[in-house]
Amino acid sequence: MAPSAGHFRPVRYLAFFIAIIAVLYGLVFGTGDHKPVPKLGIDLKGGTRVVLTARTLDGNAPSPESLNQARQIIETRVNGQGISGAEVVLDGNNIVITVPGDGGEKAKELGQTATLGFRKVLNYIPNTPQQPPASQTPPTSGTQPPPSGSQSSTPPPSGSATAGAPSGTNQPQGRPAPHVQQQPSGSATPTPPPASQPAPPPTDTGAVSPEVAAQIKAARDLRQNPALATAEDGGNAAQADQTAQQTALLSLSCEADDPLVGNDDPNLPLVACNQEGTEKYVLSKVFLRGTDISDANAAPNSQGAGFVVNLSFNGTGSEIWAKFTAANVGQRAAFVLDTKVVSAPEIRGPIPGGNTEISGNFNQRSATALSDVLKYGSLPLSFQSSDAETVSATLGLASLQAGIIAGAIGLLLVFIYCLFYYRLLGVLTILSLALSFAIVYAIIVLFGRFIGYSLDLAGVAGLIVAIGFTADSFVVFFERLKDEMREGRTFRSAVPRAWVRARRTILSADAVLFLSAAVLYLLAVGQVKGFAFTLGMSTVLDLIVVFLVTHPLVSIVSRSKRLSNPKLVGLGAAHRESHAAEQSQPASTGRTGPTVKEA
């Protein structure tokens, strides 16, 4: 048997809901920037979306474990750089980085493999631009680049670290300078011009393919040939090494995309350029890995302008570094990041403590970015930026306005229908929807502040769709009221009975909808997650509004003699049907009154 209306105290439920609203908006206005503005996603606020495509050595698809590990590392880098509202998701074999607002340049740097290795410099030459005149005679085969021990590098700026003057320090960053200025000091050997053979083609920007794997293999065969290492037995072997070094150096193009990024073998020598593209190096195998770094941070250069990156090693790394610096005083050591030489300073003395400084043409942003990727680890895969989309704030504003207009039209149609069909109950529906919007809005604002949730266009669509489901709960309750009144009950007595029957249906429908939204959120990627999130959240809040607002308000109306008029609350038709059934009941049951017979 349904509980009577007297046992239900609607004022308590309404007071509890008002307390929830007060707490939520107290947090909205009392935390963060104190502005009741939700955090907007890239398609509403504008920003950058970068798609990173994985590359593998054999051209096969990367393993799900490697992709997930790379996603986690990139997400850690996002948090370390303080990028607000960024999202890192897996989309097949790609990683999609979404950064709303002004963070596009940072987003493009997050996919760096950041594999740091310390290699000894065996040889180097300036990267001289190719001379187009046909009259130039090619270099003779006897011309050799200077060995690393025959040249003196610029003294390091700090005697407490291995940071010497970076190669190309006096040259404009990112632009090859004239070969006269790039000639290393102390080198008397003439600089050979680049070979006439074409440079390796840029890596393909598509998905993982056999062509990319072939490029990686060709680059390895040329630039990581074991014969590049300096032989110690002299004779023909040493001459072969010098020939292999010259061939690899002249064949390397510092301007082309490097297919070896993230795919070089640390156990083999390497031919590489510096980051400015002003010098080419022949390097030994890696003797100290970046995994032995315990911390990295950016700091202003105490010896001049710009910034440096300070490294500290763990116990094993400090021991290896101390032994290497003690045995190679006067030689150069290269700090190689993703097959690019960041700095190649001269070792002026042993460094027992392990505290090391990387100097180069760093500004604050680039030094911070480098220190962050070194601090948070290297990626297990190599990635290319296959797509970088920039969404303007104007386009985002237009999308937001379109979403608001669509939501307003939907609400207006619901309001008109409810007022026409349910009258006073329709007014209660409008009030319930307004309170539902108030609680949803506060939750979205707080989620943006505390968990970084960004409202995107798909999320707005989820909120608009949720309007229909929320109104549907009210319709279920009101139709149950009609059924009870058709059975001959009054409005007041019909409310508790209708609520008991309606809430089961409402709970079942919302449970199914929430499960659907949850499954969609777990399985979907990208913007579909925003739709599923707002839909599921609105479903949960729909139950709160129906239980704490709609039902108590209907109960209060049913207890008022003035407001409980069936015609006023939109239940006149059900009341008339019940009255007609009562009038027709005597005839249908066969009952007859007393009769008068003729005498």
Q: What is the pLDDT of residues 302-361, one digit of tens each?
A: 887 888 888 888 888 888 988 898 898 888 988 888 888 888 888 888 888 777 887 777
The confidence score (pLDDT) of residue 396 equals 66
d(CA 546, CA 540): 10
Do 260 and 346 lie in a common domain?
yes
**Residue 448 in tokens:** 């943006």
CA dist 97 and 91 (Å) reads: 10
Q: Are residues 456 and 334 in the same domain?
A: no
* Pairing of β 340-343 and β 307-313: unpaired
- Closest listed residue to residue 490, CA positions, set 429, 580, 578: 578
Q: Is residue 64 part of a domain?
A: no
Fill in the amino acid letter for 499. W
Residues 438 and 523 placed together within one structural domain of the fold:
yes
63 domain-assigned? no
Q: Is the residue at 84 inside a domain?
A: no
DSSP 550: I
Number of helices (H), then strands (E), in the chain: 16, 12
Residues 355 and 406 in one domain: no
| CA 464 to each of CA 169, 398, 403: distance values in angstroms, whole numbers, following the listed order | 57, 17, 8
pLDDT at residue 13 in the model? 92
Q: Residue 513's pLDDT is what?
A: 92
Q: Which of 346, 364, 382 is the last residue of a domain?
A: 364
Same domain, 396 and 260: no
User: Which two structure tokens, joined as six digits, stand for 456?
Assistant: 């995107």
What is the reported pLDDT for 108? Answer: 65
Is the whole model's pTM more than 0.75, yes or no? no
What domain range is 567 assigned to?
9-38+392-584
259/55 Cα distance (integer angstroms):
9
Q: Are 491 and 571 in contact (CB under 8 A)?
A: yes
Same structural domain, 151 and 263: yes
**420 and 336 in a common domain:** no
What's the pLDDT at 237?
57
Residues 408 and 352 in one domain: no
170 shares a domain with 22? no
**b or e along 337-360 (b: 16 or more beta carbons within 10 Å of the residue's beta carbon)?**
bbbbbbbbbbbbeebeebbbbbbb
Q: What is the pLDDT of residue 14?
A: 92
How many C-beta atoms surround the C-beta of residue 187 within 10 A?
A: 17
Q: Residue 378: its pLDDT value, please?
A: 65
- Nearest alpha carbon to residue 383 among 290, 275, 218, 259: 259
Contact (CB, 8 A) for 394 and 67: no
- Judged by DSSP in three states, 53 sits in strand
Return the structure tokens found at 538.
């609105």
Scanning the structure block, which residue is given the tokens 């025959």? Answer: 150
d(CA 91, CA 51): 9
Are 235 and 188 contacting, i.e. CB atoms less than 8 angstroms apart?
no
Tell me whether residue 380 is in a domain: no
Look at the chain and count its residues. 599
Q: Is 526 left (phi over 0), alpha (psi -120 to 50) or beta?
A: left
Indicate which CATH number applies to the domain containing 530. 1.20.1640.10
What is the DSSP annotation of 195-261?
Answer: PSSPPPPPPP-SSS-HHHHHHHHHHHHHHS-GGGSPPSS-HHHHHHHHHHHHHHHHH--SSS--TTT
Q: For residue 476, how many other CB atoms are within 10 A of its CB?
A: 18
Q: Write out the two tokens for 560.
A: 């008022």
Contacts of 471 (CB under 8 A, 6+ apart): 414, 418, 429, 433
Claim to verify: residue 341 and residue 485 sit in the same structural domain: no
Is 545 among the domain residues?
Answer: yes
The pLDDT value recorded for residue 161 is: 40
Within a domain: 290: yes
User: Looking at the 3D structure of the chain, how many domains does it have?
Assistant: 2
Does residue 95 sit within a domain? Answer: no
pLDDT of res. 150: 34
Beta bridge partners of 341: 274, 336
Which tokens is 24 given? 């939520």
Q: Are residues 398 and 305 in the same domain?
A: no
d(CA 176, CA 279): 9
Which residues in the chain land under pLDDT 50? 1-6, 131-207, 232-235, 587-599
What is the gyration radius of the CA atoms in the chain, in angstroms? Answer: 37
Q: State the Cα–Cα distance between residues 23 and 37, nearest whole angstrom.
A: 17
What letter represents residue 240's amino acid? A
CA separation for the pair 197, 209 (Å, rounded): 25
Residue 154 corresponds to which tokens in the numbers above? 């610029």
Instruction: Compute the distance between CA of residue 400 and CA of residue 413 in angstroms, rounded to an integer.
Output: 20
User: Coil, helix or strand for 95?
Assistant: strand
552 and 489 within one domain: yes
